[in-house]
Amino acid sequence: MDSREIAESYLSFFKKQGHAVIPPAPLVPPDDPTTLFTSSGMQQLVPYLKGEIHPMGKRLVDAQPCFRAEDIDEVGDNRHTTFFTMLGNWSLGDYFKTEQLAWFWQWLTEELKLPKDRLAVTVFEGNQDVKKDETSAKIWQALGLTKEQIWYYPAQKNWWSRSGEPEKMPAGEIGGPDSEVFFEFTQVKHDPKFGKTCHPNCDCGRWLEIGNSVFMEYEKQADASFKPLPKQNVDFGGGLERLTAASQNQPDIFQTDIFVELIKADPTENLSDNRLIADHLRASVAMINEGISPGNKKQGYILRRLIRRAAIKFNDPKNLTDFIKYFQPQTEAAAVLNDEIKKFSTSLAIGKKVLSRAKTIDEALAFDIFQSYGLPFEVIAAVTQVKLNRAKFEALLEQHSQKSRTASAGMFKGGLADQSEITTKYHTATHLLQAALRQVLGIHVRQEGSNITADRLRFDFAHPQALSEAEMQRVEELMNAKITANLPVVKTIEAKDTALKSGAMAFFRENYPNKVSVYTIGDFSKELCGGPHVGSTAAIGGVKLVKQESIGAGKRRIYAVLKEIYQPGAET
């Protein structure tokens, strides 16, 4: 099967088991300032894994494009990529271990037709908080796996959360023990460099992890203990690239149908460099197609880094331009890539001059050069051949980002910034803003887009002209009056038609399933929404409308900031 057939087979198999196919989230999560990219299928489902009712039911499945910045240094081997498609299925408090492990096994062995004796599974060996997962081991045995095919590993390998093992999870983060399936490429000889004997989690390339069933049952608490979630959930994720490699018995994912055209071009003599170039350009094209431009902040910084890390592999960065044609990228993506490579060639030449004149080359200088010329850390390290400390460089970047009020704690490494409280306030404030605009300007006002970061909310709507100062003031006063009134924010699950008939506002009408969650704020606002929201409006504290602008004929955009973080004159 080729990769497309594999994805289709997975979705249709789980559909047969009663799962609804949900649309994948955008690569940049629209309302989540805690992380730069969607890096797993479960990301858009966090509120539902925590107990909210999902409008499409308790069994969900999708194919989610993901980007993992934290894997950037692993790229070059036979199996790591920054950008990939994750096949995912979820039980939101419905089925649990027995069904999940049996279904995945059935799909692997009957649909993908992977030979059973080339598969092994791993389960959690237990720790002080959560006991050894003998239940999963028994289920695997009942499915016909031998004891030799079932391996126990500690939390470092068999615990999953977005932040990694239990100690790394921030308070409020969810996670749990997991059970992974590995495929053995018997044609690959074990490399003793990676240890005396080979085993599923050995990094020599003989074994490949192809799927991970997470038993999402716990929420980390502020005192570092683990509280059971209201329901036991399943969160399965399997990389399409790796499943394709197993299905094609091809130990190098870069030789599967997904990459083969790219890698055939063999732009440099070095296999690992070629893999890096292929991965980074593929990821860059995906990002550009979602509207990201290369820059020095947030997603733009990661995109710039990817392009420049690929370009530095050539003697002349401009040679990367020749390689781009193998991508058949959309013209716009090719234009952005070429433009960035041109900029890079110029700044590389200047940066090299500055570096050659410098007396000492340290992380502070590297950061200065990055700020002035956009040369990423690894490019500076490659040009100077000086061993620089990446953590120190990242700390400077972090400090700088904090100063410019961006939410970046841990985000560049793929971790989560702890901003969920602020985001929640902005979510509710957005509902208040829409209701206030409709009261002040008229009921033609409807949300046409919105975006929330840790710094502000942004709201787009149709209105023929700029708001007068008096109108801006009235909207702001009305919102603050509703905040002071401390109205309850109540969530109900309703049939879509009933909710719409009762006057609830909806952003994308046609995309909503039949059962929807509706948030009502006193008698002021009623909207279809996935949340999360504050319990009552006083929690928002207060808001300031800081800016309005036109975004095309008859379309306006307003920015609002929470009073608690408002800085007069600050850029939005």
DSSP 8-state symbol, 167: G
- The least CB distance from residue 186 to ligand GLY, in Å, is 25
For tokens 């095309």, the residue is 552
Measured CA to CA, the distance from residue 559 to residue 547 in angstroms comes to 5
In the complex, minimum distance from the CB of residue 407 to ligand GLY, in angstroms, rounded to a whole number: 22
Residue number of the CB atom closest to ligand GLY: 237
In which residue are the tokens 């018997």 written? 186
CB of 333 to ligand GLY, least distance (A): 27
DSSP structure class, residue 495: E
Residue 42 or 409: the one with the smaller Cβ distance to ligand GLY is 42
Within 8 A by CB and 6+ apart from 88, the residues are 40, 41, 42, 61, 62, 63, 64, 235, 236, 237, 238
* DSSP string covering 497-531: HHHHHTT-B-SSGGG--SEEEEEEETTTEEEE---
Helix (H, G, I), strand (E, B) or coil at 22: coil
Structure tokens belonging to residue 133: 């997962």
* DSSP structural state of residue 488: B
Specify the residue, 39 or 274, whose C-beta has the smaller distance to ligand GLY.
39
Q: Say if residues 120 and 150 touch (Cβ distance below 8 Å).
A: yes
To the nearest whole angstrom, how small is the minimum distance from the Cβ of residue 162 to ligand GLY? 8
Nearer to ligand GLY, 58 or 456 (CB): 58
Q: Are residues 141 and 123 in contact, defined by beta-carbon separation less than 8 angstroms?
A: no
CA distance 435 to 467: 16
Instruction: Tell me whether residue 151 or residue 301 sits nearer to ligand GLY (CB atom).
Output: 151
The half-sphere exposure of 527 on its side-chain side, counting CA atoms within 13 A, is 23
Binding site for ligand GLY (CB under 6 A): 40, 42, 160, 212, 214, 235, 237
For the CB of residue 164, give the shortest distance to ligand GLY in the complex, in Å: 11
Q: In the complex with ligand GLY, which residue's Cβ is closer, 237 or 317?
A: 237
Q: Least Å distance between CB 235 and ligand GLY? A: 5
Tell me the closest approach of the beta carbon of residue 180 to ligand GLY, in angstroms: 8
Nearer to ligand GLY, 161 or 347 (CB): 161
Q: How far apart are CA 555 and CA 141, in angstroms?
A: 61
Query: How near is the Cβ of 298 to ligand GLY at its closest, in Å?
Result: 22
Tell me the C-alpha distance between 76 and 309, whole Å.
Answer: 12
Nearer to ligand GLY, 209 or 455 (CB): 209
Write down the least CB distance from residue 214 to ligand GLY, Å: 5
- Give me the amino acid identity at 405: R
Peptide bond between residue 532 and the one before it cis (omega within 30 degrees of 0): yes
Torsion angle (degrees, nearest 10) of CA 371, 375, 378, 381: -90
Please report how close the Cβ of residue 160 comes to ligand GLY at its closest, in angstroms: 5
The residue among 214 and 243 lying less far from ligand GLY, judged by its C-beta, is 214
Cβ distance 181 to 201 under 8 Å? no
Residue with smaller CB distance to ligand GLY, 90 or 314: 90
Of the pair 180, 340, the CB lying nearest ligand GLY is at 180
The two structure tokens encoding residue 109:
């062995």
Say if residues 554 and 450 touch (Cβ distance below 8 Å): no
**Eight-state DSSP code of residue 171:** T
> Is the CB of 133 or the CB of 235 nearer to ligand GLY?
235
Neighbours of 375 (CB within 10 A): 27
First CA to last CA across the chain, in angstroms? 49
Q: What minimum distance in Å lies between the beta carbon of 151 and ligand GLY?
A: 17
169 versus 499: smaller Cβ distance to ligand GLY: 169
Q: Which residues face 117 on adjacent strands? A: none
Taking the complex as a whole, the smallest distance from the CB of residue 100 to ligand GLY amounts, in Å, to: 12
The count of other CB atoms within 10 Å of the CB of residue 319 is 14
Give CA–CA dist 215/333, Å, rounded: 39
